[in-house]
Amino acid sequence: MRGLKGLVKKGLGLGDMAFNAGGGAINWFPGHMAAAARAIRHRLKLSDLVIEVRDARIPLSSANPDLQPHLSAKRRVVALNKKDLANPNIMHKWTHYFETCKQDCIPINAHSKSSVKKLLELVEFKLKEVISREPTLLVMVVGVPNVGKSALINSIHQIAQSRFPVQEKKKRATVGPLPGVTQDIAGFKIAHKPSIYVLDTPGVLVPSISDIETGLKLALAGSVKDSVVGEERIAQYLLAVLDTRGTPLHWKYLNNRRIDGIEYEAEENHEYSLKNLKPKRRNPPNRSDLVYVEDLVMEVQRALYSTLTEFNGNVEDESDLENLIDLQFSALQKALKIPHKASEARLMVSKKFLTLFRTGKLGPFILDDVPDIQPVS
């Protein structure tokens, strides 16, 4: 990993990189988030339990260090969202890690009602010890941007409506940190006797991150706008991660796959959206469209496999790794069929490549390494 660490340390060849609030190379802490952070700390005092949503691909990097001291004093459930995009072979190691740290943790898919119901069952179980003495309980949802808080809240809302169909779209819970001190806060009622309300809060990203790689992981997962960090820089980091892990070598056995019985018209000019890499036209989509996306993925995987296996350098060497990444950008440009004369070809390659990763087309990943668990003496 020395080559990767070296590239990260010097900002992937793009000059010094700093993630901070007061200027610097990259300012990724908008003013409204500072206000949101203050509001969250205030509401934490009112909450009986906190659901901290994290990205399952970055279980540690998607935590908010500034909030951890406040969260550790509360009943908390860590929800590792987007588990469908995370490597299942490693996910169980993460759940074991959190269990060892005596922290309740559950991998979820916020778009799956059955998955969210399991989360709510755990929440209600954790609240059992205070149910007998509190008439109204408050559950707060927190997390950095783009970890799926809104999707989770939407699923909770749908479940709440099915449980209490007569309740309005949004209910208000009257709660307070002290008897006689109350405050109205909007939320969804998920249980009765006692009443349990789940509230939503804006995500807050830390104003300063000393670890550049953590910042890059957050950017890769989409918790920071691409335009802030730069798509090319993020794509370079992703390529460096794949190369140092040898991931493209594992794709050799996948490139023989085909969907039996389906053929597609190669000469057809497909127009696809960068957001989902599926053709914009046809509703419902043609079967050939699905094969088109599959074929696009295989071309990308083949390009990265070929460049890595034919490379004579050492991916642990910083300069060699940089050279390899340059070769891979050229190979990806061809695989993604981006015109050679395109003035922004490298940017277009980066955008499409990142979309493939973020939508899970390149396979499930967990970018964070499971920390070593120190035995208790």
Q: Specify the higher pLDDT residue, 115 or 344.
A: 115
Over the range 351-365, which residues count as b (16 or more CB within 10 Å of their CB) and which as e? Answer: bbbbbbbbeebbebb
Give the C-alpha separation, 62 to 263, whole Å. 41
Work out whether strand 181-191 and strand 171-178 pair parallel, antiparallel, or are unpaired. Answer: antiparallel
Closest of 361, 365, 364, 363 to residue 295, by C-alpha: 361
| Residue 261 pLDDT > 60 | no
List pLDDT tens digits, range 315-371: 999 999 999 999 999 999 999 999 877 778 999 999 999 999 999 999 999 999 999
Calculate mean pLDDT across residues 49-74. Answer: 90
| Residue 289 pLDDT > 70 | no
- Assigned superfamily of 30-200: P-loop containing nucleotide triphosphate hydrolases (3.40.50.300)
Give the C-alpha separation, 51 to 67, whole Å. 13
| Predicted TM-score (pTM) of this structure | 0.83
As given in the structure block, the two tokens for residue 345 are 């070809």
Closest of 132, 131, 141, 256 to residue 198, by C-alpha: 141
Dihedral (CA of 165, 167, 172, 175) sign: negative
**Amino acid 290: pLDDT:** 64
Calculate mean pLDDT across residues 156-184. Answer: 59
| Residue 60 pLDDT > 50 | yes
**Amino acid 338: pLDDT:** 92
| Residue 278 pLDDT > 80 | no
Angle between helices 345-358 and 287-309 (to 10 degrees): 110
Share of the chain above pLDDT 70, in %: 72
Give the C-alpha separation, 119 to 141, whole Å. 12
Q: Where are the domains of the chain?
A: 1-15+210-264+287-376, 30-200
Half-sphere exposure of 280 (CA within 13 A, CB side): 6
List pLDDT tens digits, range 174-230: 444 333 343 445 677 888 777 888 886 666 767 567 678 888 999 999 988 888 889
Question: Chain-wide mean pLDDT for the chain?
Answer: 79
**Amino acid 72: pLDDT:** 84
List pLDDT tens digits, range 120-158: 999 989 988 777 677 788 899 988 888 998 889 889 988
